[in-house]
Amino acid sequence: MNAVGIVVEYNPFHNGHQYHLERSKEVTNADIVIAVMSGNFLQRGEPALVSKWERTKMALHGGCDLVIELPYVFATQKAENFANGAVSILHALKCNSLCFGSEHGEINSFQQTYEFLKKHEEQYNYYIKKFMKEGYSYPRALTLSFQQLEKDSELLDLSQPNNILGYHYVKAINEQKTNIAPFTVKRAAAGYHDTSFSSSNIASATSIRKALFHHNENPIINVVPSFTYASLQNTSTQQWEHYFSLLKYAIMTMSTEELAKIYEMEEGLENRISAAIVESESFQQLMEKLKTKRYTWTRLQRLCTHILTKVKKEEIKKATLTGKAEYIRLLGMSENGRRYLKNIKKDLPIPLIAKVSAFSHPGLTIDIKAAHTYNQIFPEPLRSSLLKAEFSTPPIMY
């Protein structure tokens, strides 16, 4: 069976995602769609709008055949680590291809850009260090460094978020020496960071979340499938402000020495955070006090996520020794997906987990801790049932 892999967050699943999913099957002539999906905390350092189980249902309704959780240790990372984890899972699951959305929309330029940067790696790394010493954030330093190199017009615009992520998928495919063929689909209508609806039926997840948080739900009915709309009507939605009291408690009850051990805490930032939290009455206020040219909003959100979940540098190091995923956690499957798994199960190079209690790994321990943290804001008895569900919920069958 011909399997195409996609890497998703579905926060929430919308019409643009449906377009990408259908085009992915079309351009790769795939029989099976395997989605590697972030868990309860996402790449930009945000709690997911709804749980991974609700988003798994959305993915299966939308046409995915297998939904696999991208472990926290990759899902809450910069683009390069995020891509490495996702590609390693798709490779383990015998995917023939990976199809991602991008602003550019032509796959040849991604491969050419990879080869160009590989050839100029020493010079590229020199510029990255130079710009970071000048106080630029890591993503901005990458963009500026790329612009410094002499290149032709066939290469990518690496200032665009989906182009950047796509480049790292192609890089991971090459450097992990997989047989995965990369494909890309041009993003339709809405941009990744768009905060307002720019089309009658396509909108970014950012703009959909904004509409929901401002209780302006009517417009979203046109830009999400009916199953997403129904889920959002029947499920409480989460955002950072809901977790602010937990974050404030975590920061104020940890010493600066303890904060310094948190993953991604650097250069005395623990002192700034300890001072800023006292004067902050909301997550928005805290972020505005912390944000600088060097520390982007996304970078700081990820750090706050690690503080909230109390994930330390040593824990991440222990869980990512190989730089690849070391287990496959199955969240859901269609009948097609079940047949596909049955065919490849004996040849999987890493364990397939359907039941959490039957497996142990440092990365999975962090996944469970993250899920427990995500569920803390719910009232009892719902919270207790959600905590138990992390161990007892079987993969969702569709």
Annotated binding residues: 7-20, 101, 162, 187
- Taking Cα atoms as reference points, which of 64, 10, 73 lies closest to residue 37? 10
Tell me which long-range contacts 119-124 makes (C-beta under 8 A, separation of at least 24): 120/149, 123/149, 124/149
The sign of the torsion formed by the CA atoms of 280, 284, 286, 288 equals negative
Distance from C-alpha of 22 to C-alpha of 185, rounded to nearest angstrom: 10
Residue numbers in the known binding site for ATP are 7-20, 101, 162, 187
Dihedral Cα 280, 285, 288, 291, nearest 10 deg: 50
Report in angstroms the alpha-carbon separations of 283 from 17, 155, 245.
Answer: 29, 39, 9
- Taking Cα atoms as reference points, which of 37, 24, 40 lies closest to residue 107? 24
Distance from C-alpha of 382 to C-alpha of 388, rounded to nearest angstrom: 10
Report in angstroms the alpha-carbon separations of 176 from 69, 121, 172, 316.
Answer: 20, 17, 6, 20
